[in-house]
Amino acid sequence: MKTSKAQAHDNRAHVVQTASALFRERGYDGVSVAELMAAAGFTHGGFYKQFRSKADLMAECAAGGMAQTVALAAGIDRPAFVRSYLSRAHRDTRAAGCTLAALGADAARQPKAVRAAFAQGIECLLQALEKELPVLERAGPGAVLTAREAHAHAIDTLAHAVGAMVLSRACPDDSPLADEILSVCRDSMLRMLAAQSPKPPKPPSRTRFVAAGHAPEPG
C-alpha cells in the first residue's frame, strides 16, 4: 500500500524527533542508522527514502533542537534562564534538554552542514538572550548597552551556562561535584546579574529546558 504524502511527512518528522533524542543521549557516533530507525519503528532501508545521509539527518536534528532551545529561552529574563538551564532536572534529562550542551563538542568534529546548523542556532539563541538583557547603569541612570555590548554579554551568559552544564554532566550522576558545579556557577551568575541590573528580577519562569512530561526541580 502506497504511503500518502501526509503520512510520509509524519513518518519523517517522527524519525527526526526520535533521532534528535538519541543523538543528544548517546552522541552522533553512539547511534547507527539501523538503531535509530528501529527506535522509530521503521526498517533500515526506509531511511534513504527520507534522507540522503546520516549527516543530513544530523544537521536537520541540530537545527530543530537549537530552535527548540531558542523558543524556550525567548521571553524570559537572564536570571530565569540561568536558573532553568543550570538545574539538576536539565542536567539529568540530556535526551530532552538543550542540544548545544548535549552535542556542542560533538558538532566540532562533524561535517560543515552540522556545524553551520549549530552556528545559526547559537546566533538565534544569543539574539533571544539579548532581548532580555537588563538595563545597566554605566554612564548614569537609564544608560543602555550598545548592540555590541549586549551581544558580548549574551555570549558570556551562554558560554558560562553551557560550560557549567558540560562539566556537571562529565561527572558521575551521584557525584557531589556534579551538583556543586551547577550550584556554584548558578549562584555566581545570578550574583553578577543582580549587581548589573538596577531593576528587580522577574519571578522565576515556568519555562524549563526539558521536554514536557519531565518534572523539573525548582530553579
Q: Which CATH number characterizes residue 53's domain?
A: 1.10.357.10
202 inside domain: no
* Cα–Cα distance for residue pair 95/98, rounded to 1 Å: 8
Closest C-alpha among 115, 89, 105 to residue 214: 89
- Look at residue 201 and tell me whether its pLDDT is greater than 60: no
The count of structural domains within the chain is 1
Residues 89-141 have pLDDT tens digits of 999 999 999 999 999 999 999 999 999 999 999 999 999 998 876 544 444 45
187 inside domain: yes
Identify the weakest region by mean pLDDT among 13-17, 48-52, 208-212. 208-212
123 inside domain: yes
37 inside domain: yes
163 inside domain: yes
Question: Mean pLDDT in the chain?
Answer: 86
204 inside domain: no
- Look at residue 70 and tell me whether its pLDDT is greater than 90: yes
215 inside domain: no
Distances (CA, A) of 108 to 25, 146, 168: 17, 31, 20
* Cα–Cα distance for residue pair 164/186, rounded to 1 Å: 8
Cell of 17: 524527533
**Residue 41: domain span:** 5-196
207 inside domain: no
